[in-house]
Chain A
Amino acid sequence: MRATGQASLKTVMTRYFSQLKQAAESGEKKIA
């Protein structure tokens, strides 16, 4: 289970940080 959980956590965190990076680089979204 722990391996499955970690894989899923990695997916969720990667999505969050990718969106944040996109916002920072593109200026499309404001950042708080």
Chain B
Amino acid sequence: MFDFAVYYPENHGALLGAKRASTDMIPCAVAAGYSPDICSYLTSDIGAYLKGFTPLAAAYGFKAIPRPDVIVFNNNQCREVQDWFMFFARHWRVPIIGVNSPRVIGGVKSCQIQDVVSQLMDLIPTLEAVSGRKFDMDKLKEVVRLSKACTERWRKTLEFSCLSPAPMTFFDHCIHMGPAVLLRGAKDAVEYYDDLIDALKELSREKIAAVPGERFRIYWDGMPIWGKLSKLSKLFSEERTAIVASTYCNSWIFDSLDPDNPFESMARASLECFNVRDETFKEGYIRSWVERCDVHGIIFHDAKTCPYNTNSRFAMPRRLERELGVPTLVIHGDLNDLRLFSEEQTVTNIQAFVEQLHESRG
């Protein structure tokens, strides 16, 4: 829409985490007054900017992160993005606009949809002024059509892991989600997932497992530990345990998008996001995936700096254990700040959990 090139600071934050660069960047943001207890994507990203570092330099030849002409946020997945993006809005003196989402939603109500529709429509004048282009409803419908096509294929990709053995795991999902995050609304993403689905059909037909000799199947709730994806992937593989589904990777499924009704459907998709739902909805959601994917245990990642993507702090694991008869494990760590992650303790806890699954299943 409006022919903008779109840059996502959240993606940059994840890249810093995956490159294990965050620990060197966060102190720069802390020195500038940002608390080490807030989102470590935020502190990694602002710290990297202050330090003049970006992984995009080595990977793609960027001199620095792009300077935007306008900053747009939706705080449905994370309340702190607004504070994060305000840093850059102040620094570069560019307009910042966005959607403040209702939170703790049970069933989505029409008044909430109208609220978000109004906020989306309020973005248009600024985007027109900055881009120099008039809003075009047909273009929006086309972008929503492509976004819908992308999200349908992303759902299908993830659902392959409900099969046994799973042809991909959470660790693969964290990598292959790139186009659904950065290119939703573009043809490239749709074509990418068409190819991936073809490959997954072949793997499933031949019963090729992502984790050879798959014994146990796990649901992961909470953020990835970006700097330890490889390490944890190997650990679970050694334990012949597949993480087959996750709240995080599912968060880029937007079933409600409808090109014939773009504003209302975008609002509904935004409000149906897991992170803004109440605990009753969240438990039902996790239950449905546990049952659908024949899951044997649930791991909750309590990410120290990410309360909005942490669901273990109000006894949800205990409730789900009682309700589903499925064991749970809470591991303590962080999405980016590896100073908050004890590898030795986590490995021991995961190995003990798998042993518990072994014993409980005879």
Which residues of A does B touch, CB under 8 Å?
1-2, 4-6, 8-9, 12-21, 23-25, 29-32
Contact = CB atoms under 8 A, between A and B. Distances in A.
Interface of A is mostly: helix
Interface string B301-341: 00000000000000000000000000000000000000000
Contacts of B196: 5, 8
Interface of B: 2-7, 56, 59-63, 66-72, 127, 130-132, 167, 172, 175-176, 178-179, 182-183, 188-189, 192, 195-196, 199-200, 202-203, 208
A8 to B, nearest CB: 6
B69 A16 contact: no
A16 to B, nearest CB: 6
B82 to A, nearest CB: 15
Contacts of B6: 20, 31-32
B196 to A, nearest CB: 6
Contacts of A1: 167, 199-200, 202-203, 208
B130 to A, nearest CB: 6
21 contacts: A1-B199, A1-B200, A1-B202, A1-B203, A1-B208, A12-B179, A12-B183, A17-B62, A19-B5, A20-B5, A20-B7, A20-B66, A21-B60, A23-B66, A24-B66, A29-B3, A29-B4, A31-B5, A31-B7, A31-B68, A32-B4
Contact of A32 (B61, B63, B70, B182): B70
